[in-house]
Structure 1
Amino acid sequence: MKKNIILLTVLGLLTTFSSCSDDDIYKESPNAILVDEFYKTEEDFTKAIYGLYQDFKQIGFYGGSGYSRDLVVVGDILSDNLLSNYGGRGSNRAANNWTYDSSQTPTDIYGAAYRMISDANFILSKINNLKEGEFKNRIKAEVVLIRAIAHFEVARHYSEIPTQNSTSISSIGIPYLTEYNPEFKASRTKTIKEVYDNITQDIESVINYLPDNYQDINRLNQYSASAFLSRVYLYNGNYDKVIKYGQKVVNEIQPTSKNEIANFWTSKTSKGSLFEIPYLQANDPSIGSNFGYGTNANNMVMEFSVDKELYDLYDSATESERKNTYFKIYNLAGDANNENIIVNKYFPGQIKNYINHARYLRVEEVIFNLAEAYYLKGNPSQSLQILNIERAQRYTNFEGEEKGEELFEAIITERRKELAFENGDRWFTLKRLLGVKNIPLKYSKGIKRSGNGYRADGSGTAPVQLELKESDYRWQLPIPKEAINRNENLTQNKGY
């Protein structure tokens, strides 16, 4: 049956504007007897759903291609966490310098996400081959949720976020595809509000059909769906819904403790993880290749190093476990033995001799979502209480008594520190806060980088540009040129 699972990805190519040739695309015809003989039994659909989860291993999500274009790194490159290392090959340096365009895009997630959407819709087109009941309902719910995740990733990368400014809700959205049709050429007729409404409505329509437990974190359940809804509603500015869905998760699931954090990022434990893609085989992608490669300081080639400003936010005295897990300082032979701060969270796998799981949702993120929602709802005492759940697991001691704007700063700073190098969180946090009211004024001004170079002491070449203003068109990434060329109905984002 292996060919049948591969068929999903082949069919998905039809709507993702891939650079493959027509011969490659049509090696397996959607009308072939192979498809007709599949999707008949529960076993068939079980294999299909496992195949759909494999789409998260694509380049753009967690493919580990070595070209620094996956979800775990791009948002940190675009924001103020990572600096292009000039001892490297220059991978994705245009993203760090904000000099990208439709021919040189920062990420491959556009094609990867629409391939996932197409694969999901193909499964849904066959779902009525199953008899009514619990199994059918669960499969359908998982597929709909994965499809919603894929649409969300396209939306936040390529369109405005609803809270980005006062007019964002009526700004141009993305194609929201709910039917499998390889010949359909989608257009961007929906507003971004309509897209976010489609995402949340889809998830809420199926969430009760998912398992009501969080034990199997390799498949989606009600807890991971609730966590994801807390993220989407935070982007949508609906703080009541953030609280509704986030509180359940935080009440039931504890974050990783400081004593377990090293084991978490060596995939020896998954405590606090809500949804992850397990990487267990030697040929699974190496997420750390997004940051660089090599086996020791003598042959290590770093594509991106950590900005000294970020590194200095971590206190060696009170949070040594997290700091030592997230970072290492190496005297790199390829940089005249100068010290560089490397991302130790994933890299380099060869040194640690393990493979990292791809973590898409963690309870720590939900804590920050919830703390921010309570703050913006005018409940600072509850906001502080929620934030301190995470801080109690990270620090040997902390004051934890902030008020007013200091409390908001504490939420965003702790979020930056905990979620660094995870799913682009820093970039999207800065993007979505641009238009949020009653928070420190600096968040409405865009990005202002430190000006440091890529070495540990702040020396070395700095990014070409240090500021990205709040109104800059580059907050919305360019839709890849090949997608526009293949579909005349697509509208390119302004400025490209």
Structure 2
Amino acid sequence: MKKYIKSQTLLILYLGTLGALYTSCKKIVDVDPPKDTITGNAVFTSNANAEAALNGLYANISGIFSPIVISSGPTIYNGLSSDELHFTDTDNEIIQVESNNILSSNGILTTLWDKAYFCIYMANSCAEGFNKSNSLTLSTKNQLLGEALLIRSYLYFNLTQFFGDVPLETTTSYELNASMSRTPTTKIFDQIVADLNTASSLMTSDIVVGRANRYAAQALLAKVYLLKNDWPGSQKQASEIISSGKYQILQNLNNVFLTGSAEAIWQIAPNNMFYTTTQAYNLLPSSKKVVPPYVLTSNLIGAFESGDKRYINWTNVQNLSPIQIYTYPYKYKTRGRGDSEGEVYFRLAEVYLMNAEAKAQQGNLTSAIADLDVLRQRAGLSLIANTNPAISKADLLTAIARERRVELFAENGNRWFDLKRKNEALQVLKPIKPNFDINSTLFPLPISAIRTNKALSQNPGYQ
């Protein structure tokens, strides 16, 4: 990974260039782009230049075309490795992912790993520069530092979902990072929790389209606590977001992923230089005459209740002669250039589901039902409060899990996350995926990373 950048100066040059590109594509945030390029520490000598540096980081996590560890990577690769998506084409590297038979030489792994650590290095450089700068206003320094910590936390969160233990790099020291061994996930999540608490204390609650605020940090923190089975912690974060009144559950499902959606807690600005979002670019068919690259599995389709508006509005069908019918994800609806949609990392519906689960686990069933019914009402389904108000804790948790599956399908790897954190992956996936075994819950580390860093070991079951 470090072959990309070996000096702070090179990084700042790159950040500045990307910041200029990003802000020129779509002025979501009113920041004057830097003139030409930014060198040395100049990026941190004014608010505008510091903003441009962070915009460069945002431009990188949003991806270009290939799915990466944040942008569409979890949606596609975790969707394939679980039971959400089926790949219809012949690319052997993608087939390996779906069949849970991934070789460590698979180029997908290299892209996921290298791009993630490239962005982590950027985030570390930004954080160090913001901390050291005496030229930024305090409010700007706090906000930008909080965003850098949040982005780094989300990168590590997704890396652990793919690979498990990974090197925890929190500085720009090439000497330290180049030979770093894998850090246990427990320590990684300790760092993530600490960073997210810091980030939420630094950032404002202001909503700026294309950027994060303190509620984005709290949403990820609620998810981390869910993984750790810290139900009070998850409920606290989720409840604060809901009670803030900053966000809404939109009744029109077709508006949920639009740019500036009132449901979106953390949404990345559209990349209208090439396409609106990497999700749409990778998931939608390029024309009405071609087979969609990724289609929903019959297993997922069968999870929807009759009349569920989410199935009606968030899936689409490609009819190809003579009788071929393909159902594909349709949450994002614009594949080409434009600014109508922005990629959503967290939205209020997921927060309601986390809140419901945390409450149910603590025995607060009535309140959990109320949270769950908010989404069922929008979906046009019967309310549990009316049909089964005396539902047991076990049955309610099952209902919440089913609701998570149909609300969050093909969205940021949530199905994979749920199966793994509940230790259900082997039980659920083995009957429908013959190659799946206990080692399949982790991807192999890319062989290129192991050859570069001799301190890295491979995951069990892989060479």
Give the TM-score of the pair, scaled to structure 1. Answer: 0.78
Partner of residue 245 from structure 1, selected from 237, 246, 251: 237
Task: Provide the residue aligned with 2:327 in structure 1.
Answer: 341
Task: Provide the residue aligned with 1:281 in structure 2.
Answer: 272
Paired with 1:151 and 1:50, the residues of 2 have a C-alpha distance of 19
Partner of residue 358 from structure 2, selected from 366, 373, 376: 373
Structure 1 residues 398 and 379 mapped into 2: Cα distance closer, same or farther (>3 Å)?
closer
Work out whether 1:74 is the aligned partner of 2:95.
Answer: no
Work out whether 1:425 is the aligned partner of 2:414.
Answer: yes
Structure 1 residues 450 and 473 mapped into 2: Cα distance closer, same or farther (>3 Å)?
closer
Counterparts of 1:59-458 in structure 2 under 5 Å? 59-61=66-68, 70-85=73-88, 89=91, 92-104=94-106, 107=109, 108-127=111-130, 128-131=132-135, 133-159=138-164, 173-183=165-175, 184-188=177-181, 190-213=183-206, 215-253=207-245, 254-258=247-251, 260-265=252-257, 267=258, 270-284=261-275, 285-291=277-283, 293-296=285-288, 298=289, 300-317=290-307, 319-320=308-309, 322-333=310-321, 336-346=322-332, 349=335, 356-395=341-380, 397-400=382-385, 401=388, 402-434=391-423, 443=424, 445-448=426-429, 451=432
- Could you tell me which runs of 5 or more consecutive residues in structure 2 were left unpaired when the two chains were aligned: 1-9, 19-36
Structure 1 residues 223 and 217 mapped into 2: Cα distance closer, same or farther (>3 Å)?
farther
CA apart distance, 1:199: 0.7
CA apart distance, 1:263: 2.4
1:484 maps to amino acid: I
CA apart distance, 1:119: 0.3
Paired with 1:43 and 1:195, the residues of 2 have a C-alpha distance of 32
Structure 1 residues 5 and 347 mapped into 2: Cα distance closer, same or farther (>3 Å)?
farther
Structure 1 residues 354 and 204 mapped into 2: Cα distance closer, same or farther (>3 Å)?
closer
Asked if the contact 1:5/1:51 (under 8 Å) is kept, the reply is no
CA apart distance, 1:182: 3.0
Give the stretch that moved more between structures: 424-433 or 216-225: 216-225
1:476 maps to amino acid: L
Give SS of 2:178's match: coil
Give SS of 2:422's match: helix
**Stretches of 4+ moved more than 6 A in 1?**
none
- What do residues 404-447 of structure 1 show as CA deviations (whole Å, max 9, x unaligned)? 3221111011100010011111011101101xxxxxxxx37533
Give SS of 1:331's match: strand
Asked if the contact 1:138/1:209 (under 8 Å) is kept, the reply is yes
Paired with 1:306 and 1:385, the residues of 2 have a C-alpha distance of 29
Structure 1 residues 147 and 302 mapped into 2: Cα distance closer, same or farther (>3 Å)?
same
Give SS of 1:35's match: coil
Which structure has more helix as a fraction of its residues?
Answer: 2
Paired with 1:91 and 1:264, the residues of 2 have a C-alpha distance of 32
Paired with 2:148 and 2:339, the residues of 1 have a C-alpha distance of 30
2:269 maps to amino acid: P
Asked if the contact 1:39/1:45 (under 8 Å) is kept, the reply is yes
Paired with 2:427 and 2:125, the residues of 1 have a C-alpha distance of 40
Paired with 1:372 and 1:188, the residues of 2 have a C-alpha distance of 35
CA apart distance, 1:138: 1.7
RMSD: 2.9
Identical positions, percent: 22
Paired with 1:329 and 1:209, the residues of 2 have a C-alpha distance of 45
Asked if the contact 1:5/1:47 (under 8 Å) is kept, the reply is no
Task: Provide the residue aligned with 1:482 in structure 2.
Answer: 448
Give SS of 1:468's match: coil
Asked if the contact 1:273/1:362 (under 8 Å) is kept, the reply is yes
Asked if the contact 1:431/1:475 (under 8 Å) is kept, the reply is yes
Paired with 1:325 and 1:450, the residues of 2 have a C-alpha distance of 30
Asked if the contact 2:182/2:456 (under 8 Å) is kept, the reply is no
- What do residues 40-67 of structure 1 show as CA deviations (whole Å, max 9, x unaligned)? 2122101111111112222444898xxx
- What do residues 234-266 of structure 1 show as CA deviations (whole Å, max 9, x unaligned)? 1122111101111111223454333x211224x
Give SS of 1:409's match: helix
- What do residues 22-50 of structure 1 show as CA deviations (whole Å, max 9, x unaligned)? xxxxxxxxxx9922444221221011111
Asked if the contact 1:121/1:180 (under 8 Å) is kept, the reply is yes
Task: Provide the residue aligned with 1:40 in structure 2.
Answer: 45
- What do residues 443-466 of structure 1 show as CA deviations (whole Å, max 9, x unaligned)? 375333775xxxxxxxxxxxxx34
Paired with 1:343 and 1:37, the residues of 2 have a C-alpha distance of 44
Counterparts of 1:40-59 in structure 2 under 5 Å? 40-58=45-63, 59=66
